[in-house]
Chain A
């Protein structure tokens, strides 16, 4: 009879504890960072009062997350009478569980040097589930499960604003999964693996990050992951000014906290994916090598580089939030289907062609020139795609309601608004 779990299981538990603890703390402090950045952008001071409790020490407001957390946990957890109780309670749990389980397949560092413990694989990877071959798909699967939390939360609230938020969210997430997947496919094609750690290693070996090798894919993936994380300018599911908070309008107390933490985790996941897939993961030129045979200094250095990159991407997310106004829903959809989808396809075809003819190029031109061509071609595709998208996408949108417009007038070339509304309506 075996009472103790195996070393591999223990190692997995330790990693889970580190990851969940780290992510939860990070989410709390990222809220503080977000408030600081908001204050900086808006030229005010932001939270700077709360320091060590019961003392006068302020510590630049570093105690704020603790105070925020305590406040929201101790608030009344009010359940309105008109909700569907089961789904109302399940929705925050579903979204948080799915957002956390995503990290089972996401590496949060490189590898530890061999520890020499029997039963543990050496070197120890910074990854909870190292045996999972389909890491990228796992991330996709669980982020699509997280949609249920939003959708059910909105529906179970039995509130029109919540419901609209849930509907918007599901439509937006389903639409943007396609450009997201297309951006991803280029990377998977070039790296030849669905494992996220293998994708980092592939970039470290060549030294060419996929953001440099596939600029168009990077742009498509970046925009789509903003939309998947429902961050401004894509935060239509919870647009405060339109929907009073959207799908979590009816939530309060700890359940609201779960929703908000899950939302932050979505952003953190998006940052992880952007860094791992396109920005080289733990690789930095001249600092880290590509091999798994490393010492403690190198292992910690790689962890620090990955974390710094992720933090930089998160700060970028937060700056974008205060830099762009929110899209309207039809603009959001036409961006996904008419701009991002074709650009993603162009990227995929370019990458496939480059990967197919890379051996022939290397044989004909030599490795150095071949690599330059393999990088130059996607950049040319990116430039052409960008120009074509810019020329053929209307820069302004017609804001008159569709009902007030007569399709015959559109055909005759009469612009909307030239005819008085009553006349247009009367002709129908």
Chain B
């Protein structure tokens, strides 16, 4: 779609939503001068901005059809916002986990089962548990005041809101272009909506196999590079630990 043919109200609505979101984020981000009224105003503006963003979407379909998708994406969005504005590091990690669960739900409704479940296993199951582990050991109440407020709340809020606006504009354009028949993903969501929970087609059961063939065929090099990167990180971690021990030992020898 040509930029000139974007209907004006939608563009205005998008701009207004971006502005409201930026203001809401700025009001909500942890600052030294927070009042209850400003936070309430921030929550109100944020809700309005979300409604605005939803309204600029080209077609949301009926709630009955897309209810699951709308619910999980709302969970992902709201939890993502809550992650950055919450005061307590532990709560931020929990909100982040909720956001990941929402994203995994979106992937599941789109039929990308492996990605959806892998998101939970890798991020929520391993990485975030490690985060929580460290956060809980780090005693959040003992942190210095400058660690408890946002650096540059104004810039961060505007950058985030503008990025979201740009992304939704470009995605709106992309989804306006109908993909050719060859390249459309067979969607399990369609099959479930049409009443048969069974696999869509005989080869739909091989989704994981196809993903594996793709990863270890076309993208073998990337997989290998990622594996080597992880190995280097592992060796590095062990090296740091053993050097720490060696330093402690030589320190003892000197003493």
Q: A residues within 8 Å of B by Cβ?
A: 6, 8-9, 12, 87, 119, 121, 130-134, 137-138, 140-142, 144-145, 147-148, 151-152, 155, 163, 166-167, 170-171, 173-174, 177, 194, 406-408, 428
Contact residues in A for B137 (Cβ distance below 8 Å) = 167
Q: Mark each residue of chain B from 127 to 164: 1 if its CB lies under 8 Å from any CB of chain A, else 0.
A: 00110110011000000000000000000000000000
Q: Do residues A174 and B130 form an inter-chain contact, with CB atoms below 8 A?
A: yes
- Main SS of chain A's interface residues? helix
Q: Mark each residue of chain B from 108 to 124: 1 if its CB lies under 8 Å from any CB of chain A, else 0.
A: 00000110011011001
With beta carbons under 8 angstroms apart, the residue of A119, A140, A152 that contacts B195 is A119
Judge if B196 is at the interface, Cβ distance under 8 Å: yes
Q: Do residues B125 and A130 form an inter-chain contact, with CB atoms below 8 A?
A: no
Q: Do residues A141 and B117 form an inter-chain contact, with CB atoms below 8 A?
A: yes
Q: Do residues A408 and B97 form an inter-chain contact, with CB atoms below 8 A?
A: no
Q: Do residues B125 and A133 form an inter-chain contact, with CB atoms below 8 A?
A: no
30 A-B interface contacts by CB (under 8 A) = A8-B196, A9-B197, A87-B90, A131-B192, A131-B197, A133-B113, A133-B205, A134-B114, A134-B117, A137-B114, A137-B118, A141-B120, A144-B124, A144-B125, A144-B126, A145-B120, A145-B124, A145-B125, A148-B97, A152-B94, A155-B90, A166-B136, A171-B133, A174-B130, A177-B125, A177-B126, A407-B248, A407-B249, A428-B252, A428-B255
Q: Do residues B188 and A131 form an inter-chain contact, with CB atoms below 8 A?
A: yes
- Main SS of chain B's interface residues? helix
Contact residues in B for A137 (Cβ distance below 8 Å) = 114, 117-118, 121
With beta carbons under 8 angstroms apart, the residue of A8, A147, A406, A407 that contacts B125 is A147
Q: Do residues A133 and B207 form an inter-chain contact, with CB atoms below 8 A?
A: yes
With beta carbons under 8 angstroms apart, the residue of B104, B121, B133 that contacts A170 is B133
Q: Do residues A133 and B114 form an inter-chain contact, with CB atoms below 8 A?
A: yes
Q: B residues within 8 Å of A by Cβ?
A: 90, 94, 97, 101, 104, 113-114, 117-118, 120-121, 124-126, 129-130, 132-133, 136-137, 188, 192, 195-199, 205, 207-208, 245, 248-249, 252-253, 255
Known: A8-B197, A130-B198. 11 other contacts (CB 8 A): A12-B197, A132-B113, A140-B121, A141-B120, A141-B125, A145-B124, A151-B133, A151-B136, A167-B136, A408-B252, A408-B253
Q: Do residues A147 and B129 form an inter-chain contact, with CB atoms below 8 A?
A: yes
Query: 9 closest Cβ contacts across the A-B interface?
Result: A144-B125, A141-B120, A8-B197, A137-B117, A121-B198, A141-B121, A6-B195, A141-B117, A134-B113
Chain B nearest Cβ from A185, distance in angstroms: 13
Question: A6 to B195, alpha carbons, bound, how many Å?
Answer: 6
Question: A407 to B253, alpha carbons, bound, how many Å?
Answer: 10
Question: A140 to B188, alpha carbons, bound, how many Å?
Answer: 22
Task: Output the nearest chain A residue to B128 by Cβ-Cβ distance.
Answer: A148
Contact residues in A for B97 (Cβ distance below 8 Å) = 148
Question: A155 to B134, alpha carbons, bound, how many Å?
Answer: 12
Contact residues in B for A134 (Cβ distance below 8 Å) = 113-114, 117, 208
Task: Output the nearest chain B residue to A138 by Cβ-Cβ distance.
Answer: B117
Contact residues in A for B124 (Cβ distance below 8 Å) = 141, 144-145, 148
Question: A140 to B208, alpha carbons, bound, how many Å?
Answer: 16
Chain B nearest Cβ from A111, distance in angstroms: 13
